[in-house]
Chain A
Amino acid sequence: MEVKDIADRISVKFAAAGHHIDREKLEERITRFVEEFSVPPSEAERSITHDYARQFGMDIAEKAQSRENNNITLISDIQAEQWVNIEGIVVVLFPSRSPSVAQSGIIADGSGTIRFTVWAKANAPMMETGNWYRIESSVADEYNGQISLKVHSGTTITPLNPEDIPQIEVSDINMVKPGVVSVRGKVIRVEKPMTDAFIQRGIIADETGAIKFSVKNLPGAEPLSVNTWYSLRYAIADTYKGAVSIQVLPLSAEPEEEDRSVRPVIIPVAQAGPGVVSLRVKMIQEYETTSDRIFQSGLIGDESGTIRFISWKNEGETRLEPDTVYAIYYATVDQFNDRLSVTLSGAVCVPDESASIEVRSPDEQIQGVFVHMSPGSGLIKRCPVEGCGRVLSRQNYCQIHEIQPNFNYDLRIKGWLDTGGETYDTIISREGVESLTGLSLQSAQDMAENDPLGLDTIFYHINEHVLGRYLSCKGRKIDNRFFAKNCEFKIFDSGMLAELINRAEGSTHE
């Protein structure tokens, strides 16, 4: 069967060029290759085609057959120390930093992206951003765990003809992975970028989700129109800080007739990750702003969890009201220090006065030993300036508001809470200090004023009560930091003792 197919292909190929090949002889040759010598059929086809082409003095055949059996490797499959042929689109070119490098950049195909370097010695043709090339016999190597492609003098680079560019199937927006992608969606929002490198940024959505896009300032690039459906062919998807976004190349976006509305996909807060999300949440807490550029920041949440939010001072920002439920459409989630935060600027926030949500408490309980009390614990002085509250130095000096003689007193404990497996950099607020030590803010003040040690006496008093003790605290945990509001001494639990004795007896008889 296979023999006949190969024979068909070869005779058609040469017939097209006006050369007739004896069918019987051809099949016999193929059979000899494949059956007698166990040559793989593709290899047999290549050698025979090659042979005829030489016979007829055709060199176009060389190219035709290399197209047939091009052994193209997917970029995502490339491993170090490999010679590979790839077909891809040049996504970015970096300025050359060394005279020995002619070009370097990133090339992408439907499976992924890879960095490449063209050595000056390779004498290769210059490639251009946004164009497709076939790169044959390049070498993949690895440096610092990153694989890149090297184009040397033995490598051939050929621009792909439009009809040879691989087809990329349209994918759902929520399935987009780094590499070359095709998507269909509606432009939800556009904004002017802050740098000249881009002419537009925005968000495009389909029924499965939404994603950020950008249009680079390249020749022929055109901005997209908001509220319009587009089919984007050969967009470049990439990840930055955990979020996937796509870059729209010049002449690759086609507006569509369609004018359907897209229903935003609302997801639970606990599932939100870097990227573009729509949520239905209640505003739980507003934080004091720490910068003039911040319009509002705080905490929002739903039944699944909570997340920080922030909006910047722009025109037309919506201020969220505490305890009110909002539908938030197309907000962006960023990750900073492993912590997620939603930016509401640009998103649409619609209050739903009648709805209520039972937000999952962000508090967690940690039980551990208080193993170290740090300076800055005890009776402290805070800056009285509205919205500041920073801890003052001994000279009543605030980092921002300088000398503040009319400070406010506060009580807190800073130190390490240790579970035996984890240690938490912990701050226990006044409530917790009062219940652990029996001191009230007032009694602590009296004590400090009537003692020659002053504030230090409170430090020692508290340290004597809590150091080396088992505490059970409730509060907010962020990585290895813990902000505890309610704290008490752990009490002995005889049920737990019985359980442990049982466990210890467990497999003694083995």
Chain B
Amino acid sequence: MNDGALFNRYERESAKRVFAAEFREAFYHFKVGTDEKSPTYILLPTGERCNRVFIAGTLTEKKKSDGETGFYQIRVMDPTGVFFASAGSFQPEAMHQISSLESPSYVAVIGKPNVYQSQDGRNLVSVRAESVAAVDKSTVDLWIMDTAKLTLDRIEQNNDDQDHQKAKEIYSHPFEFWRPKVKDALNSITL
């Protein structure tokens, strides 16, 4: 076991798949470890920590803020709601990619979830985009199915683990609340 620790390779956090309806209800965030660079997570209402997300949907709006340190804000819609994503000068790749997109178009976004409070005290959650890609409708459909499957996994899993327990304590909706949303999302796929 000690051998393993010595040769620890870089492990990347996997990108969670979550529908907009569930994602926007997440507000509990926490840090693992005390280091400045320790990863931060948000806790999804279906009981899984999340340090990175992968989303796919329709880009409905993009706006660039003025000033020298201009940054992009975009809205990405899935069958259940809207994601807010942004990219600033620390995400040059994503900024470059967003600049060549038009709305509406199908996009995929990989990024980090970010919780902040609005001026009226509400919790808002957005995605700080690491990369953005123009995709086609079939990628969006595959994403809906993938996200449905992984969300159902979270709902149906034996929920004795720490993240499920914490989610039960924090969020008002029971896990089963999200099941009809999954069904709606799947039914939105038109063949």
Contacts and interface: CB of A to CB of B under 8 A. Distances in A.
Interface of A: 241, 335-338, 369, 371-372, 416, 418-423, 425, 464, 467-470, 479-481, 490-492, 494, 496-497, 500-501, 503-508, 510
Contacts of B142: 470, 490, 492
Contacts of A480: 9, 11
Interface stretch (B63-71, B113-121, B147-155, B165-173): B147-155
Nearest to A501: B186
B54 A372 contact: no
A111 to B, nearest CB: 22
Given A420-B54, A468-B108, A469-B135, A371 B15 contact: yes
B9 A468 contact: no
A497 B7 contact: no
B179 A479 contact: no
A255 B29 CA distance: 68
A58 B119 CA distance: 91
Contact of A501 (B3, B7, B13, B187): B187
A248 B44 CA distance: 58
Contact of B16 (A420, A479, A490, A505): A420
Contacts of A492: 138, 141-142, 145
Given A369-B54, A497-B186, A504-B148, A337 B3 contact: yes
B21 to A, nearest CB: 14
A425 B11 CA distance: 9
Nearest to B106: A468
25 contacts: A336-B3, A337-B3, A369-B54, A371-B15, A371-B131, A372-B110, A372-B131, A418-B15, A418-B54, A420-B14, A423-B14, A425-B12, A470-B142, A470-B143, A481-B9, A492-B142, A492-B145, A497-B186, A500-B145, A500-B148, A501-B186, A504-B152, A504-B183, A504-B186, A507-B176
B14 to A, nearest CB: 5
B56 A468 contact: yes
Contacts of B139: 468-470
A341 B107 CA distance: 44
B17 interface: yes
A479 B8 CA distance: 11
Nearest to A479: B9
Contacts of A421: 14, 150
Nearest to A490: B142
B82 interface: no
Given A480-B11, A508-B180, 5 more contacts: A369-B54, A418-B12, A420-B146, A507-B179, A508-B176
Contacts of B176: 507-508, 510
Contacts of A490: 142
B79 to A, nearest CB: 13
B15 to A, nearest CB: 5
A55 B4 CA distance: 64
Contacts of A497: 145, 186, 189
A481 B12 CA distance: 11
A335 B56 CA distance: 42
Interface in B1-49: 3-4, 7, 9-17
Contacts of B7: 337
B133 interface: yes
A458 B4 CA distance: 37
9 cross-chain pairs, A with B, having the tightest CB-CB distances, nearest first: A468-B108, A468-B133, A504-B183, A467-B133, A423-B12, A423-B14, A470-B142, A504-B182, A371-B110
Contacts of B110: 369, 371-372, 468
A416 B186 CA distance: 27
B133 A494 contact: no
A219 to B, nearest CB: 33
B183 A501 contact: yes
Nearest to B14: A423
Interface in B93-142: 107-110, 130-135, 138-139, 141-142
A503 B152 contact: yes
Interface string B50-67: 000010100000000000
Contact of A416 (B12, B132, B189, B191): B12
Contact of B13 (A241, A423, A470, A503): A423
Contact of B152 (A337, A469, A500): A500
Contacts of B150: 420-421
Nearest to B189: A497
Nearest to B132: A468
Given A372-B110, A500-B186, A507-B179, A468 B11 contact: no
Interface centre among B9, B142, B189 (most CB of A within 10 A): B142
A508 B183 contact: yes
B4 to A, nearest CB: 6
Contacts of A425: 9-10, 12
B3 A241 contact: yes
A464 B132 CA distance: 10
B144 to A, nearest CB: 9
Given A420-B150, A503-B152, A504-B148, A491 B138 contact: yes
A467 B131 contact: yes
Nearest to B191: A494
A504 B16 contact: no
Nearest to B186: A501
Contacts of B134: 464
Contacts of B152: 500, 503-504
Contacts of A504: 148, 152, 179-180, 182-183, 186
Nearest to B148: A500
Contacts of A419: 14
B145 A496 contact: yes
Nearest to A422: B14
Contacts of A369: 15, 54, 108, 110, 146
Nearest to B16: A420
A338 B4 contact: yes
